[in-house]
Amino acid sequence: MAIRPYEIQWQGNCQIMLEKLIFEKSSPGRMAYSLPECDVSVKPIEELIPERFLRTETAELPEVAEIDVVRHFTRLSQLNYSVDTNFYPLGSCTMKYNPKVNEDVSGYDGFANLHPYQNQEQCQGILHILYEFEKIVAEICGMDTFTLQPAAGAHGEFIGMLISRAYHLKKGRKRIKIIIPDSAHGTNPASAAMCGFNIVEVKSNKQGLIDIEELKRNIDNDVAALMLTNPNTLGLFEKDILKIAEIVHDVDALLYLDGANMDALLGIARPGDMGIDILHLNLHKTFSTPHGGGGPGAGPLGVVKKLAPFLPAPRIVKKHGSYKWQCDLPDSIGRVKPFYGNIGVIIRAYAYLLSIGSEGLRRIGESALINANYLRKKISDYVEIPYGKKCMHEFVASTRKLKTNGITTLDIAKRLLDYGFHSPTIYFPLIVEDALMIEPTETETKETLDEFAEAIIKILEEAKNNPEILKNAPHTTPVSRLDEVQAARKPNLRWQKARG
Ligand SMILES: *Cc1c(COP(=O)(O)O)cnc(C)c1O
């Protein structure tokens, strides 16, 4: 009996292919590949592997033809929505420009075969790169120095908070509060709370910016730092940043910048010039590592001079033309990561920065702004955009008016999949009801932006005239609307079924 490699199901009038398990395609004795006759003497496996490591039962492996293996995994790989196949306007955490060539560079043998336990003399090449990379990002951000140890943005925040605490303790005082605007990413209050700080939330004003008067009311000698995102999570530039810095510095508190939105400033403005004392970057957002790919990230942390002594140990120093780890740093908060961070991500970012240069950097910043404003303008007659007349690299729309038709933001997000687009970020930031946070990135062409705008406009029409089609969307994906909680808690791996 012929076994089809996938089941065909109909959802509405769309045909869906459900890939079968590779075990279901197994046929006893079938082999994908046969080895040539062995021309050296064959030893029994018991002589090669200690008995305790040997299996007692034969492994249950699928027996399939070579081409079926290739097709099975190729088809599975195509079930994934990816930035290499389609537009991905996921605000705040976007897949920005990730040139493949940088992936190639970070995989060079010389890097890939390095071992973290090799001694310093053998690692001068990579130490050179790390040292130079620290300097380049310091220049881009206008900071004095960087540590490359943090493994992610939130890790950078946490270390920034430890440094803030160390700074105040060194001055002989215990500061207990961190001020955070209500538009902040959830990791900000979480990182500060993990360091034992109390969080003071300041409300945004009608323009979606930090309310200066509210900030003044909350600032006092208990405040260790203000954590802010600029451009903020509404995609708006905090234009009063110099005033904010002054208010914070008046009580000798620190100004922390969540640099996840650095894309918008690249080559145009430098946080250091705005009075920022500490910031983290997300290399896996802004600097050529795909975000959300499941792989490691990196959240380098930059500081001004007065905070440099507190940076995590060890630090790389250059003496007489060679590089060394410096470990005797009495005020350091200590080590925060085994070895020296996620090196592969850093190499990718280094290759990227060298290849685009400062001219290219500015064009990235400018293109990100132009693309976001273009898209914003295109859809602004159709959907409410509560804050700002212009945006930076992203903007936040609200679909709350569609509630009267029973349509939720989630329905719109799901329907976009049928039009071939990944959904924007939804329900974040929290200060916008039914938020749809859109970030087109610097890479997309005008045609793609036009198509996306048209899809949004069509879906908004459907919401009025044919709400049912949104309620049941998506119709064209391998699986339709999932119960997201159940899907995470009780994933249906279909393995049990296959084994019967
Ligand atoms: C992504 C993001 C973070 C957290 O960064 P991770 O690298 O995911 O830990 C913090 N703040 C903002 C604004 C972000 O977009």
Q: Which protein residue's CA is at the shortest distance from atom 6 of ligand 1?
A: 153
User: Higher-confidence residue: 496 or 275?
Assistant: 275
Indicate whether residue 367 lines ligand 1 (CB < 6 A). Answer: no
**pLDDT band at residue 153 using 50, 70 and 90 as cut-offs:** very high
**pLDDT band at residue 143 using 50, 70 and 90 as cut-offs:** very high
Amino acid identity of 487?
A: A
**Ligand 1 atom closest to the CA of 299, numbered from 1:** 7
Q: Which protein residue's CA is at the shortest distance from atom 1 of ligand 1?
A: 93
Q: Which protein residue's CA is at the shortest distance from atom 14 of ligand 1?
A: 260
**Ligand 1 atom closest to the CA of 187, numbered from 1:** 10
State the Cα–Cα distance between residues 427 and 92, nearest whole angstrom: 12
Are 192 and 215 in contact by the 8 Å Cβ rule? The answer is no
DSSP secondary structure string for all residues of 39-86 = -S----HHHHS-GGGS-SS--------HHHHHHHHHHHHHHS--TTTS
Q: What is the mean pLDDT of residues 156-164?
A: 98
Is the residue at 93 inside a domain?
no
47, 173: one domain: no
User: How many angstroms does the Cα of residue 4 sit away from the middle of ligand 1?
Assistant: 44
**pLDDT band at residue 494 using 50, 70 and 90 as cut-offs:** low
Indicate whether residue 297 lines ligand 1 (CB < 6 A). Answer: yes
Q: What is the SS3 assignment for 382?
A: coil
Instruction: Report pLDDT digits (tens) over 294-319.
Output: 678 999 999 999 999 999 999 999 99
Is the residue at 10 inside a domain?
yes
State the Cα–Cα distance between residues 398 and 424, nearest whole angstrom: 12
User: How many angstroms does the Cα of residue 405 sit away from the middle of ligand 1?
Assistant: 34
Instruction: Report pLDDT digits (tens) over 235-269.
Output: 999 999 999 999 999 999 999 999 999 999 999 99
Q: What is the mean pLDDT of residues 278-301?
A: 88
- Please report, for the domain that includes residue 392, its CATH number: 3.90.1150.10
pLDDT at 14 over 70: no
State the Cα–Cα distance between residues 288 and 284, nearest whole angstrom: 6
pTM: 0.87
**Ligand 1 atom closest to the CA of 154, numbered from 1:** 9
User: How many angstroms does the Cα of residue 101 sit away from the middle of ligand 1?
Assistant: 25
Indicate whether residue 202 lines ligand 1 (CB < 6 A). Answer: no
Are 202 and 181 in contact by the 8 Å Cβ rule? The answer is yes
pLDDT at 157 over 90: yes
Count of CB atoms situated within 10 Å of the CB of 467: 14
Indicate whether residue 425 lines ligand 1 (CB < 6 A). Answer: no
319, 366: one domain: no
State the Cα–Cα distance between residues 253 and 245, nearest whole angstrom: 9
Is the residue at 245 inside a domain?
yes
Q: What is the mean pLDDT of residues 5-14?
A: 66
Q: What is the mean pLDDT of the chain?
A: 92
Indicate whether residue 154 lines ligand 1 (CB < 6 A). Answer: yes
Q: DSSP alpha helices (H): ranges in 332-445?
A: 343-379, 409-418
φ, ψ of residue 280 in degrees (nearest 5): -115, 155
State residue 497's pLDDT score.
44
Which run of H or E residues covers position 498?
Answer: helix 495-499
**pLDDT band at residue 414 using 50, 70 and 90 as cut-offs:** very high
Indicate whether residue 152 lines ligand 1 (CB < 6 A). Answer: yes
Residue count of the chain: 500
pLDDT at 16 over 70: no
Are 12 and 469 in contact by the 8 Å Cβ rule? The answer is no
| Alpha-carbon 258 to chain mean position | 13
State residue 191's pLDDT score.
98
Are 180 and 193 in contact by the 8 Å Cβ rule? The answer is no
Share of the chain above pLDDT 70, in %: 94
Q: Which residue among 93, 234, 336, 428 has the greatest number of ligand 1 atoms within 8 angstroms of its CB, and so is best to mutate? A: 93
150, 187: one domain: yes
Number of domains in the chain: 3
400, 476: one domain: yes
User: How many angstroms does the Cα of residue 157 sit away from the middle of ligand 1?
Assistant: 9
For 180, the domain range is 100-355
Q: Which protein residue's CA is at the shortest distance from atom 8 of ligand 1?
A: 153
Q: Which protein residue's CA is at the shortest distance from atom 11 of ligand 1?
A: 185
Instruction: Report pLDDT digits (tens) over 368-413.
Output: 999 999 999 999 999 999 998 899 999 999 999 999 889 999 999 9
Indicate whether residue 218 lines ligand 1 (CB < 6 A). Answer: no
306, 455: one domain: no
Instruction: Report pLDDT digits (tens) over 450-478.
Output: 999 999 999 999 999 999 999 989 988 87
19, 110: one domain: no
Are 355 and 432 in contact by the 8 Å Cβ rule? The answer is no
**pLDDT band at residue 440 using 50, 70 and 90 as cut-offs:** very high
User: How many angstroms does the Cα of residue 252 sit away from the middle of ligand 1?
Assistant: 26
User: How many angstroms does the Cα of residue 356 sit away from the middle of ligand 1?
Assistant: 24
State residue 500's pLDDT score.
38
**pLDDT band at residue 274 using 50, 70 and 90 as cut-offs:** very high
Determine which of 42-56, 90-104, 333-347, 459-473 has the lowest per-residue pLDDT on average.
90-104
**pLDDT band at residue 499 using 50, 70 and 90 as cut-offs:** very low
Is the residue at 499 inside a domain?
no
50, 104: one domain: no
Q: What is the mean pLDDT of residues 194-205?
A: 96
State residue 498's pLDDT score.
41
**pLDDT band at residue 15 using 50, 70 and 90 as cut-offs:** low
63, 146: one domain: no
Are 368 and 361 in contact by the 8 Å Cβ rule? The answer is no
Amino acid identity of 49?
A: I
Indicate whether residue 260 lines ligand 1 (CB < 6 A). Answer: yes
Indicate whether residue 432 lines ligand 1 (CB < 6 A). Answer: no
Which run of H or E residues covers position 226?
Answer: strand 223-229
Q: Among positive and negative, which fits the CA dihedral 456, 461, 466, 468?
A: positive
State residue 388's pLDDT score.
86
State residue 496's pLDDT score.
47
295, 150: one domain: yes
